A and B are shown apart, each in its own frame.
Chain A
Amino acid sequence: MNTALRRRRLGIWAQVAVLAVICVVWIYPLLWIVSASLKDSLGVFSGGLGLLPGSPHFENYARAWQDADFGLYTVNSVIVTLGTVVLVVLRCALAGYVIARREFIGKRVVVGVLVATLFAPGGLTIIPVVELSDLLGLLNSRTGIILALAGGGHVAAVLLYAGYFNRIPRELEEAAIMDGAGFLRTFFRVVLPLAGPVTATVSVMTFLAAWNNFLLPLVFTFSRPDLRTLSVGMLAFRGTNSTDWSGLAAAGTISLVPLLLVFLALQRYFVEGVAGAVKS
């Protein structure tokens, strides 16, 4: 083996070693949360950097799940997230399809407005959204949270669908119409099933945004603690039990684990969704 090649091999493994150390440090805080959730209160303070609990204390989970209502918050988060994902996928696919495929009066206006608001700062519309929801009786309800999460923005998802539908050969739709399928049937039976990869990307990105959203469920549940989602519940838990570290760690683990599992299973679509922002 010549020395140049050997030096390059060595260089590669040096890079691997450095990256490995960085990555361990990187995920250490997440491992610490899980570890702290299994220690007793004293163990969290005195344990220092050690991750292994002496004997696991699962009662932290019972405390978080029942006493701190994280069971309820989990249900709320699941309902809000699923509702938002379904609504976003449906409305964005429908809009993307007609924008890509149909010529109708007002199309330019619709596309123009969508694109123009792509860069409007999102978080600052919260005051009027609260006011409008209050007027419509949606302020203290999960439906209100879902509508607000699914209603604003998501322009990128519409454009993603439109771009994809543009590339589907027209012969497929024409064949469906020849077979006597109407507009609706053509879309739901032929076109939408073809957009599986886009639906997957839009679903995981929406899932992430909805599950992690904080400000909206926070201001929507000021007077209804029973409707809090996990992220809002965490802040409330610290407000009432700031010394219960192991309980808080258990609550944090309850909220983060489903998210990480979904991420690891569907990582490809997360990465594609994020990367899409650059490529377009």
Chain B
Amino acid sequence: MSTMTRKAPAGGRLVPARRRGLAARIWAERWSYVFLLPTVVLFGMYTIWPIVSGLYYSLLDWNGLGAERPFIGLANYREAFGDPLFWKSLGVTLLIIAVTVPLRVALSLLVALVLNNPRLPLAKLFRTALFVPVVTTTAIIGVVMGFIFDPAGGPVNQLLLDLGIVDQPVDFLGDPATSLWTVMGVHMWKWFGITLVYWLAALQTIPVTVYEAARTDGAGGWAALRYVTLPMLKPFLIIIALLTAIETMQIFDLVLTMTNGGPFFSTLTTEVYIYQQAFAGTTPRLGYGAALGVLFGVFTLVFAAIQAVGLRYANRVRSSS
């Protein structure tokens, strides 16, 4: 990014560098502003304005229907802090992250190390198969998974019954004891391939010559892995864990289509709760939804920052010991 903000050295060759007035300088670059216009306008409308006005909406008591939307200050935030379902939803979201992110990052690293072996036949085919769920439409998968895990005739229960693992069909999505774990399993399946490709990309950055040097020094397969590959992957661990965690926070599509937050709020993630407050209730509460959105946004940023700092700290401790 530094290369882009740096002053282009040859820029003066296209336009003679002279001391000019502000207006003349802007006029000389008029096409630059024209080129930027679509991005500035669209970005302003759909990214900047929503962030700013979201903050304002969160201070209103607003059902989205009438023009009546009284300013109520921080009442929405006060309500959110005392709202057990909001806390419950944060807990569900955090639990999903705490369980699936380390598993996904570790397991996909394992598979990536196997697939990265240039002598492994069919490696490309395996990568493709594992990546395919990533490109599928989450909302479609969520609906279909409802059938795959159905207690009456779904293939998963058929298999479990046929193998004698269970005597009675398991109501994976209808039972609060299993629903969240099922959602996590499907989420892992759906997005495993993307973390795998992250790791494969990271492995590609290690030059072949490094391995050759290790081999000349007499390092076998395990030694090369332990002393060459893993240390060189360490800096990528932070970014890959962070990307995976941030993606996991946006688990909305899958949860809404698989369980809609139920049963008994067992899979209620924060995004689904916000959606229900803002759009799905009998009386939509846009102001309250906006406040929850702001809180969740802050929560996301803080969480990402803590994770980044924590991982960096852990790395420093490990490398200095």
Contacts and interface: CB of A to CB of B under 8 A. Distances in A.
Interface of A: 12, 15-16, 19-20, 22-23, 26-27, 29-30, 32-33, 36, 44-46, 48-49, 87, 90-92, 94-95, 97-105, 107-108, 110-111, 113-115, 117, 119-129, 131-132, 147-148, 150-153, 158-159, 162-163, 166, 170, 173-174, 177, 183-184, 187, 208, 211-212, 214-215, 219, 222, 230-232, 234-235, 237-238, 245, 248-249, 252, 255-256, 259-260, 263-264, 267, 270-271, 274-279
Nearest to B141: A29
Interface in B230-266: 236, 239-240, 243, 249-250, 252-253, 256-257
Contact of A114 (B13, B43, B202, B205): B43
B5 A111 contact: yes
Interface in B36-50: 36, 38-40, 42-43, 45-50
Given A104-B26, A252-B140, A267-B128, A48 B159 contact: yes
Contact of B250 (A123, A131, A264): A123
20 contacts: A36-B147, A48-B159, A49-B155, A94-B39, A103-B8, A104-B32, A107-B5, A121-B297, A127-B278, A128-B53, A163-B3, A183-B31, A234-B257, A255-B137, A260-B135, A267-B128, A267-B131, A275-B201, A277-B198, A278-B240
Contact of A27 (B33, B132, B146, B159): B132
A124 B274 contact: yes
Contact of B252 (A123, A150, A275): A123
A30 B189 CA distance: 12
Contacts of A152: 42-43, 46-47, 50
B190 to A, nearest CB: 10
Contacts of B129: 23, 26-27
Contacts of B5: 107-108, 111
Contacts of B85: none
Interface of B: 1, 3-5, 7-8, 10-11, 13-14, 22, 25-26, 29, 31-33, 35-36, 38-40, 42-43, 45-51, 53-54, 57, 64, 111, 114-115, 117, 119-122, 125-141, 143-148, 152-153, 155, 158-159, 162, 189, 194, 197-198, 200-202, 204-205, 236, 239-240, 243, 249-250, 252-253, 256-257, 271, 274-275, 278-279, 286, 289-290, 293-294, 296-297, 300-301, 304
Given A102-B11, A127-B57, A26 B155 contact: no
A118 to B, nearest CB: 10
A275 B32 contact: no
A92 B126 contact: no
A115 B1 contact: yes
A124 B162 contact: no
Given A105-B26, A215-B253, A147 B46 contact: yes
A114 B5 CA distance: 12
Nearest to A211: B137
B311 to A, nearest CB: 15
A183 B35 CA distance: 10
Contacts of B13: 170, 174
B122 A127 contact: no
A139 to B, nearest CB: 12
Contact of B50 (A15, A110, A125, A158): A125
A140 B143 CA distance: 24
Contacts of B132: 26-27, 30, 260, 263
A274 B198 contact: yes
A177 to B, nearest CB: 7
B205 A279 contact: yes
A110 B32 contact: no
Given A105-B26, A127-B57, A215 B252 contact: yes
A95 B155 CA distance: 50
B130 A23 contact: yes
B146 to A, nearest CB: 7
Contacts of A98: 31-32, 35-36
B4 A32 contact: no
B143 A238 contact: yes
Contacts of B1: 115, 159
Nearest to B43: A151
- Which of B47, B114, B141 has the most chain A CB within a 10 Å cutoff? B47
Contact of B297 (A104, A124, A187): A124
Contact of A271 (B119, B197, B296): B197
Contacts of A129: 46, 50
B143 A26 contact: no
> Most B CB atoms within 10 A — which of A49, A103, A252, A264?
A103
A46 B150 CA distance: 13
Nearest to B153: A45
A107 B17 CA distance: 18
Contacts of B249: 121
Contacts of B36: 94-95, 98-99, 110
Nearest to B260: A235
A20 B128 CA distance: 12
B137 A230 contact: yes
A124 to B, nearest CB: 4
Contacts of A215: 252-253, 275
B281 to A, nearest CB: 13
